[in-house]
Structure 1
Amino acid sequence: MKILNREELQIAEGVLFKHLPKSSVVYGFIYGINRKKPSTLEVIVDMWPDFKVIICRPDPKNKRALEFMKCVSYYSLHEHILRKMLREENAVDWSTYFLIRGFDVSDATMIKQVSSDKEVNNRVFALLHLLYLPDSSHLLAPAADSELQSRVSSLNLSHVDLVNNTWKFGGNQQSRMKIKDLISYFPSCCITDGQGQPVSWILMNECCAMGKLYTLPEYRGRGYAKILVSTMARRLHTEGYPVYCFIEENNMASFKLFKSLGFIEDPSYRAAWFEFNF
């Protein structure tokens, strides 16, 4: 195995770009790292430069990595090599709680087997659709009047607690630190009320996926989510980011929303999140 340096990460980004959308999670992490976004990850490959497996994992030398949930992401072109890295080469730390997020669900049987061999329990954390927008010409943006457009802006640090307390996985200090980082360093979009306070918002996660879309209950049914998603997507395309999101399988409202705006899905790919040592 090899840990990639900054120059090699630039090359890896170009390689992964050719494998979008299936490589989106790892591509998104590396895209952010290459643009000096804060990260607690290191990136390893099975070989260089013709790698078949690339893994993002917590960097043991990064002190901030201890402050966040341990998460691993990978993109693989060769199941046997991936299995060997996970089982024999200790590509991940099997001794503590962690998540593997955004991997192709077709690898689930192999992941479960390796986990069993390591005597580590595992379970499905989430199954998700990956929806993406290849380019801005696919975007079916809704019309918005000038008054509403005047209330579209970005989140700032005074909004951290609001987002944290309404996020389904939030409400704690660890999630608060995460959201603070996302608002500080990644694009976001919100719609405000007459007093300038956000009533609907969307963020970008550290893997450059759009997420945490939320509208306060009393403001729902006004089309705010469509305005936010289309505004954010257009901005991300302009700035060169990948434009994609993950939608949980049972969240049909969000699935239909993104599809109605022109996002598409690769039918051969379904993403999974697994947790270990829970």
Structure 2
Amino acid sequence: MNYFQMPELLNEPLPLFTTDVLKCRNFLLLNDNFNWPYGIYRVVGSEALSVLSEVVLEKGINHRIGPNLHLFHVRNDWLPTTGFSLPSQYQEGVLLSSDVATVVDEWTYAIMDAEDYVKYLIDNFPSVCIRDDKGILVGWFLQHTFGTLGILHVKDAHRHRGLAKYMVRKLSEKILENNQYAYVNIPETNDVSRKLHERCGFRITGATSKIIYILGRDSGKYNFPTDKQNIMK
């Protein structure tokens, strides 16, 4: 079974399952009703990746293939019960619309119209953030429209104080309290993020996927992130 999810930016994901890769290729290649809007396309299955890569090349669509992603998830009974205190100089909160620019500026995988996307997440999905004693935003963690947790970031001057671990636990608790699955996609080269989430109780599911960044036919100005850059910081 091969699986496509496209696109994930500003629109609800369009899932496409196929057991016949050739027919799927012809559908994507010959279907003029789909105009390949820019966004993040998630692909599960090596044959699916090959098909999508071939189609976008043949159609002359500007794109880049991202890293392999491993899916991790956590349950309530896997969450550690100790070691998650917040230092006294910090306060936990939720993200506000006024925080959008700060979040986008630090997001490695931000693409065009990322401000609209992040604002939509803040307005409609759970989030956790940390501010210092002056009220300045120093860390955040969000839930994507397609369900995974992501865009985790702690500013450099505030790292190694347990803030990322604290936010991972808190947002996971929120998601689980809403009777949703708490899961995250982690690039296979990002050992820092993997170890962080494992310390917070996350376990690998065995599912692997890739993401393809698509900007459409006429766009060529965006500098795609390299595979060595971490999606989780």
Q: TM > 0.5 between the two?
A: yes
CA contact (8 A) 1:141 1:227 kept: no
- Mind listing any 5+ residue stretches in structure 2 that lack a counterpart? 220-233
Give the corresponding residue for 2:35.
93
Tell me the distance in 1 between the aligned counterparts of 2:5 and 2:162: 38
Of residues 201-210 and 82-91 in structure 1, the stretch that sits farther from structure 2 once superposed is 82-91
Whether 1:129 aligns to 2:82 is: no
C-alpha distance in 2 between matches for 1:273 and 1:228: 25
The yes-or-no answer on 1:167 pairing with 2:93 is: no
Distance of 1:77 and 1:137 partners within structure 2: 35
Identity %: 23
Counterpart amino acid of 1:129? H
Cα root mean square deviation, aligned: 3.3
More helix by share: 1
1:250 CA displacement: 2.4
Decide which structure has greater strand share. Answer: 2
Question: Are 2:88 and 1:144 equivalent residues in the alignment?
Answer: no
Q: Please name the residue that 1:274 is paired with.
A: 212
Shift of 1:214: 0.5
Distance in 2, matches of 1:211 and 1:84, equals: 33
Q: Aligned partners of 1:56, 1:72: CA distance in 2, in Å? A: 5
Note if contact 1:128-1:249 (Cα within 8 Å) is conserved in structure 2. yes
Distance 1:155 1:201 in 2: 8
Q: What is the letter of the counterpart of residue 76 of structure 1?
A: F
CA distance in 1, matches of 2:170, 2:137: 15
Matched-pair contact (CA < 8 Å) for 1:157–1:184 = yes
- Write the distance in 1 (CA, Å) between the matches of 2:136 and 2:102: 10
Q: Corresponding residue for 1:16?
A: none
In structure 1, the partner of 2:136 is 197
Shift of 1:209: 1.3
Matched, 1:185 2:127: no
Q: Cα deviations across residues 249-278 of structure 1 (Å, max 9, x unaligned)?
A: 3221011111222212232x3111124546
- Partners of 1:72 and 1:100 within 8 A in 2: no
Q: Verify the 8 A CA contact 2:126 2:142 in the aligned structure 1.
A: yes
Partner of 1:266, secondary structure, is strand
Map of 1:114 onto structure 2: 55
Aligned with residue 233 of structure 1, among 152, 155, 172: 172
SS at match of 2:99: helix
Pair 137,90 (structure 1): closer, same or farther in 2 beyond 3 Å: farther
- When the two structures are aligned, how many residues end up with a matched partner? 214
The equivalent of 1:6 in structure 2 is none
Contact 1:142 1:227 in 2 (8 A): no
Which whole-Å CA distance do the structure 2 matches of 1:105 and 1:183 have between them?
A: 31
Whether the 8 Å CA contact 1:127–1:271 is kept in 2: the answer is: yes
- Kindly indicate whether the alpha-carbon contact (under 8 Å) linking 1:126 and 1:272 is maintained by their aligned counterparts in 2: yes
1:10 corresponding residue in structure 2 = none
Of 147, 156, 173 in structure 2, the residue corresponding to residue 217 of structure 1 is 156
Which residue identity does 1:152 align to in structure 2? Answer: E
TM-score (norm 2): 0.76
User: What amino acid does structure 1 have at the position aligned with 2:38?
Assistant: F
Distance 2:160 2:126 in 1: 25
SS class of match (2:130): strand
CA distance in 1, matches of 2:95, 2:63: 36
